[in-house]
Structures are given as C-alpha cells and as structure tokens.
C-alpha cells in the first residue's frame, strides 16, 4: 500500500523553509545567551567557586548584592565607569558632529577623509590598545610632544594614578569618533537643502544655521548615538585589560573588568554574577529613561 503524504500548502512550505533557516540562530541564542543569562541569575544568589565543580555551591540569598556595596573595589569600579562614560560619550558626540559638518562643507577630498576617520572603528581594539601603549611610553610620540611644549616632568601616563584614566579616555574618544562621524555624515546627506537656502537668503551665519537647523534636524541621530555610546561605555573591557589591567591601584578598574577579575581571578562566580546583574539593571534603567525622553529629545 502506498503511504499517504501530507500535502502542505505553498504558504506553509515557504514559512517552514524560513523557520528552518532561522532555527540555527534561535538555537544559538538559546544555548549561548538566554540559558547562560538565567544561569547567572541563579548563580548570583550563591557562593559558587567554579573551581570546585558544578553544583558545589550554597545559596546565600542577597548576600552578594549587599556585600558589593561595602566592597571598595566595586565602588571604585562603579565610579570609574560613570566617569569614563561622562567623559567619552558627550565629547565623542560633540566632536563628531562638528567634524562631520566641517568635512561636509569645507573638505575637498571628503571620501578619503571619512574613510581615514573610520579606520580606528574598523580596527581591532586589541591592536589599537597596543599601539597607544607604545605611544604613551617614555619615548612615544605623545610623551615627546608634551616635552616639545616645554613640560619637563612628563607623567608616566598609564603608570600614573592620576593620568591613567584620562589617557584611556583620550584613546577611546579617538577610536569612537570615526563611527559617529559616519553616522552623522549619512544623516547630513538627507537634510532638506531648501531651509538652508532660505536661511542664506535671510542672511543667517554658518554658526546660526548650525545651531538653529543642523543640530535640531540631527536630534534623532544624536539620540541614537547617545544610547549606543552609553551602553558601549558601560561595557568597556578590552582597552582597560590591555592598557592598564585596571591599575595603577584601582584607578582604571571598571565594572566589566572587575566582574571578569572576580570570576576568573578570584573564582567568585556567584559574586561576579551579582555584579553583572547590577550592571544589567543600570544599563536597562538608563535605556528606559532615554526612551521615555525620546519624544521630547527628537522634537516629536
């Protein structure tokens, strides 16, 4: 006897084909994102030392979440993260906005300049960090430039408790500004030229057009860059690990680096998971506040 075959409609076949292509991504997200996130939430309520094996833990309730607020390294890392974000994000956005307008109006070779500005974003953060470590060395170009200006007692930059964080911030601004310029440049191409022509007829200056037309029109782009840069600043890790290792002392230790250090240096996986969830709550809260203020920010 012939086996009966289930007849599928063309639409159902198309849907199943699409789901089949999406299935590997869904499985990847489930296995490597959602399940680890739920596991970290469970671990955050334990004292698990992963070197003792899976299952060798004791549930300690909210102990990890309470103790971190008396941990000097956690508080210093939190403070450094906020300082880093407050310095990198506004400077990067403002500098990118000004440079993108200048390049669009006055630069002859626009494409090569934009590509050159974008290269740091395309390069590996590991490679960038290593290059900047050499630039900050005793015989590096930055140190020599400062000496050329007449400063004899040049700080040791990454080895100086006071100057280590500003040195990292300068490098990160340099590496991030190119991407922001690219985003602003794409938005500038779509600005209505009629309003600028009308402003020229009215005798408006370039500065007046910048603040009265360009800045308001680019508000949605600025809002997007603000959100993405704040989130990425909260998650900074590679540059800190390579350039300073969180030092000297705790002067450049940030939350993600301290989470990594607690988990894989001190083997406190439960404590590290608790700090990771505090970081998640911070990022989620900032994102919610920004989205609530989106309509006023973009002028809707």
Rounded (10°) CA dihedral 162, 252, 120, 190: -90
- pLDDT at residue 297 tops 70: no
Q: What is the pLDDT of residue 104?
A: 85
Whether residues 37 and 147 share a domain: the answer is no
For residue 156, which phi and psi values (nearest 5 degrees)?
A: -85, 15
Query: What is the domain range of residue 21?
Result: 10-43
- Specify if 116 maps to a domain: yes
Q: Are 186 and 176 in contact (CB under 8 A)?
A: no
- Specify if 264 maps to a domain: yes
- Specify if 175 maps to a domain: yes
For residue 259, which phi and psi values (nearest 5 degrees)?
A: -60, -45
Q: At which residue do the structure tokens 């934009």 appear?
A: 114
Whether residues 132 and 94 share a domain: the answer is yes
Q: What is the pLDDT of residue 295?
A: 58
93-125 burial string, b = 16+ CB within 10 Å, else e?
Answer: bebbbebbbebbeeeeeeeeebeebbebbeeeb
With cut-offs at 50, 70 and 90, classify the pLDDT of residue 1. very low
**Residues 183, 96, 164, CA angle at the centre, nearest 5°?**
120
Q: Is the dihedral of CA 265, 79, 169, 172 positive or negative?
A: positive
Whether residues 210 and 253 share a domain: the answer is yes
We report the CATH number of the domain holding residue 155 as: 1.10.3720.10
Q: Are 206 and 255 in contact (CB under 8 A)?
A: no
pLDDT tens digits, one per residue of 214-261 = 888 888 888 889 888 998 999 999 999 999 999 898 999 999 999 999
- Specify if 59 maps to a domain: no
Whether residues 150 and 183 share a domain: the answer is yes
Whether residues 27 and 118 share a domain: the answer is no
- Specify if 240 maps to a domain: yes
- Specify if 4 maps to a domain: no
- Specify if 50 maps to a domain: no
Q: What is the pLDDT of residue 3?
A: 54
- pLDDT at residue 202 tops 90: no
> Is 160 strand, coil or helix?
coil
Could you tell me which of 241, 194, 186 has the C-alpha nearest to residue 213? 194
Whether residues 131 and 280 share a domain: the answer is yes
For residue 59, which phi and psi values (nearest 5 degrees)?
A: -75, 125
Helix axes 164-189, 125-135, angle to 10 degrees: 130
With cut-offs at 50, 70 and 90, classify the pLDDT of residue 293. low
Whether residues 188 and 237 share a domain: the answer is yes
Whether residues 36 and 175 share a domain: the answer is no
Report the chain's mean pLDDT, rounded to a whole number: 87
Whether residues 35 and 78 share a domain: the answer is no
Q: What is the pTM of this model?
A: 0.86
Whether residues 177 and 96 share a domain: the answer is yes
CB atoms within 10 A of CB 170: 18
**How many domains does the chain contain in total?**
2
Whether residues 175 and 97 share a domain: the answer is yes
Q: What is the pLDDT of residue 300?
A: 46
pLDDT tens digits, one per residue of 13-64 = 887 888 888 899 989 988 888 898 898 999 999 988 888 877 788 898 899 9
> Is 59 strand, coil or helix?
strand
- Specify if 119 maps to a domain: yes
Whether residues 15 and 119 share a domain: the answer is no
Q: Return the structure tokens found at 248.
A: 């000297």
With cut-offs at 50, 70 and 90, classify the pLDDT of residue 5. low
């Amino acid at each position: 006897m012939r086996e009966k075959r289930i007849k599928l409609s063309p639409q159902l076949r198309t849907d199943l084909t699409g789901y089949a292509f999406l299935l590997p991504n869904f499985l990847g997200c489930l296995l490597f994102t959602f399940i680890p996130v739920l596991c970290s939430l469970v671990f955050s309520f334990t004292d698990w030392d992963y070197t003792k094996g899976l299952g060798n833990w004791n549930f300690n309730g909210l102990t990890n979440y309470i103790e971190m607020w008396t941990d000097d390294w956690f508080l210093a890392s939190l403070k450094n993260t906020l300082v880093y974000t407050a310095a990198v994000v506004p400077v990067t956005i403002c500098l990118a906005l000004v440079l993108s307008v200048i390049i669009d109006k006055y630069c002859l070779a626009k494409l090569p300049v934009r590509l050159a500005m974008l290269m740091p974003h395309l390069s590996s953060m590991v490679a960038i960090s290593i290059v900047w470590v050499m630039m900050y060395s005793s015989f590096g170009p930055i140190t020599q430039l400062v000496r050329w200006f007449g400063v004899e007692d040049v700080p040791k930059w990454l080895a100086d408790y006071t100057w280590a964080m500003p040195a990292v911030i300068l490098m990160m601004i340099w590496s991030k500004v190119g991407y922001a310029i690219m985003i602003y440049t794409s938005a500038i191409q779509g600005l209505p030229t009629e309003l600028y022509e009308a402003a020229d007829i009215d005798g408006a200056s370039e500065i007046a057009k910048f603040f009265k037309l360009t800045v308001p029109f680019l508000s949605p782009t600025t809002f997007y860059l603000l959100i993405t840069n704040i989130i990425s600043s909260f998650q900074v890790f590679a540059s800190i690990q390579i350039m300073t290792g969180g030092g000297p002392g705790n002067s450049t230790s940030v939350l993600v680096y301290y989470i990594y250090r607690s988990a894989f240096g001190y083997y406190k996986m439960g404590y590290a998971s608790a700090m990771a969830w505090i970081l998640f709550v911070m990022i989620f809260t900032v994102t919610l506040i920004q989205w609530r203020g989106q309509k006023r920010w973009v002028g809707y």
